[in-house]
Structure 1
Amino acid sequence: MSKQPQAPRPDSWLAGPLLGFDTETTGISPTRDRLVTAALVARGPLRPDGSREQTVTTWLADPGVEIPASASAVHGISTERARAEGRPVGEVLEEVAAALSRAMAAGTPVVAYNSAYDLTLLESELTRHGLPTVRERLGRELGPVVDPLVIDRKVDRYRGGKRRLTDLCAFYGVDPQAAGLHTAEVDVVATLDVLEAMAYAHPEITRIPRERLMTWQAAAHRDWAVSFNDFLRRRGRTPDVELAWPLPEALS
């Protein structure tokens, strides 16, 4: 897919400001592992020429625990570097949570690939450090959140192959403009680009009313999760995919 994304309608949520979000962490458990880096990429409303103003903010935190070699191999941050260069994780969590809360309160969609991981990790870390969660700051549930992974599974359900961010970049013709993904800010830019390319291929997603984005995606995720759990059962494996989105039932 080499064409540029088609401009969304001026009244679409996609034409307005977007805030991309990603983290890199000490492992793969969103409830037990710790924050190492975070990135926010703010894109302004779509201009008539199809461009957007873009601002990137990144954080490096000292998570207060050892970073396993397996995690360092993915994102390139060692325990030594995090301790020497990273800020106290509580300060980083506060700033990230404040920025996300402001965006959600203003109705700006927070765009995150596999958002359930990053948002669960953030809420768990905030609780661990005695800080108000994003939900507590909002006084309501999270949202709006837009997850290209959830959307892709819904609009192209029967496409074969994996659906990692690298796979979606290849499928939707997005060049991450780097030697590889897994740096938080690179992942965020790629996620935003994938979302816009996906909207070109499936313009119906831009017509979802802003107020229905969360319920539409929650239902889409649940449909996929139920189906995938059935697949696991048929293979004699434990059906362990969480049905709730964007946070697990245990955090509700």
Structure 2
Amino acid sequence: MWHQSRMVAFDLETTGTNVEQDRIVTAAVIGLGGNKPTESNEWLANPGIEIPADATAVHHITTEHAREHGERAHDVVDQITESLAIHVRMGDPIVGHNVPYDLTLLDRECRRHDVEPLLDRLGETPLRVLDTRVLDQQGLPYRKRPSETQGARQLITLAQVYELPWQESEAHGCSYDALMSARILYRIGTLAHMPRMEWPERIKFHKKAQLHHLKDLDLAELHDRQIGWAAEQAAGLQEWFRKTDPAAVVDGSWPLQPWGDA
């Protein structure tokens, strides 16, 4: 079953949220599951630009620290990309939360530093991705924000919904977030393959829960379905935003935004 296979958890912490302009600060690539030992790799880069205070407030890495201790951005980008490529060539799906952000930003960093992008390295090898944000929204489509400051699909919210312990002091570290995504994915997969009557009460009575739609799919099928689900979810969010902003646009590209479409 897809949630019990070997996978590679992936997360970036960056200088901001603009995939076309911002840079990698830290990255984690963690191979786990499949009854094999966990293989963890983490990088700290000198991004070559100032790290804004807002970004430092999230991941706690300052410009000075990155300049003193970080590796050259070119080398970090190349190593991250090759590490992912090795896992994908072995058949491991990339797992993360809101994966198009991380994969698109990595792709743009490759182009910025004249490093071969991931898709080019893979050649004919298919990329398989499992995105906890897309899968959660497909499986449990109706959920209110827990509070005014916490979104319905944030990583912390998913941890709470799937009853995983959350350590705020560790959150927004790339390894912590990558591992949390993998743990959430495992919970989603377990529930999908479990009889509905055995679900925990908070899941069983979730409005229009349809986790069973994720059952008995192979990785290729699940990857392909996420492409459509992500597009539908983005269209719905765009429609909501346009109630107050008629010009709002939500990109539904998945698992990354194609180069040249920005």
Instruction: Assess same fold via TM > 0.5.
Output: yes
Give the corresponding residue for 2:164: 174
Aligned amino acid, residue 13 of structure 2 = E
Give the 3-state SS of the residue equivalent to 1:234 in structure 2.
Answer: coil
Aligned amino acid, residue 61 of structure 1 = A
2:170 is the counterpart of 1:163: no
Moved more, 232-241 or 25-34: 232-241
Q: Which of 229, 242, 250 is the aligned partner of 1:241? A: 250
Displacement of 1:237 after TM fit? 4.1
Displacement of 1:251 after TM fit? 4.5
Structure 2 CA distance for aligned equivalents of residues 142 and 69 of structure 1: 38
Give the 3-state SS of the residue equivalent to 1:208 in structure 2.
Answer: coil
CA contact (8 A) 2:5 2:33 kept: yes
Structure 2 CA distance for aligned equivalents of residues 206 and 114 of structure 1: 21
1:129-163 per-residue CA deviation (whole Å, 9 max, x = no partner) reads 00110011112586201100011111111122211
Give the corresponding residue for 1:66: 50
CA contact (8 A) 1:134 1:142 kept: no
Give the 3-state SS of the residue equivalent to 1:207 in structure 2.
Answer: coil
Displacement of 1:120 after TM fit? 0.3
Structure 2 CA distance for aligned equivalents of residues 72 and 66 of structure 1: 10
CA contact (8 A) 2:3 2:190 kept: no
Moved more, 98-107 or 201-210: 201-210
Structure 2 CA distance for aligned equivalents of residues 171 and 17 of structure 1: 24
Structure 1 CA distance for aligned equivalents of residues 240 and 9 of structure 2: 32
Structure 1 CA distance for aligned equivalents of residues 192 and 167 of structure 2: 24
Give the 3-state SS of the residue equivalent to 1:19 in structure 2.
Answer: strand
Q: Which of 221, 226, 234 is the aligned partner of 2:230? A: 221
Structure 2 CA distance for aligned equivalents of residues 177 and 71 of structure 1: 19
Displacement of 1:250 after TM fit? 4.5
Under a length normalisation based on structure 1, what TM-score does the superposition of the two structures give? 0.88
Alignment CA distance shift 1:123-1:152 (3 Å): same
Pairing 1:1-252 to 2, within 5 Å after superposition: 12-46=1-35, 53-139=37-123, 143-161=127-145, 162-177=152-167, 179-203=169-193, 204=212, 205-251=214-260
CA contact (8 A) 1:175 1:190 kept: no
Gaps of at least 5 residues in structure 1 are 1-11, 47-51
Alignment CA distance shift 1:251-1:106 (3 Å): farther
Displacement of 1:53 after TM fit? 2.8
Q: CA RMSD in A?
A: 1.7
Structure 2 CA distance for aligned equivalents of residues 142 and 242 of structure 1: 23
1:34-67 per-residue CA deviation (whole Å, 9 max, x = no partner) reads 0000011210314xxxxx6322211000011111
CA contact (8 A) 1:60 1:82 kept: yes
Give the corresponding residue for 1:7: none
Structure 2 CA distance for aligned equivalents of residues 53 and 178 of structure 1: 27
Alignment CA distance shift 1:126-1:228 (3 Å): same
CA contact (8 A) 2:31 2:87 kept: no
Give the corresponding residue for 1:8: none
Gaps of at least 5 residues in structure 2 are 146-151, 194-211
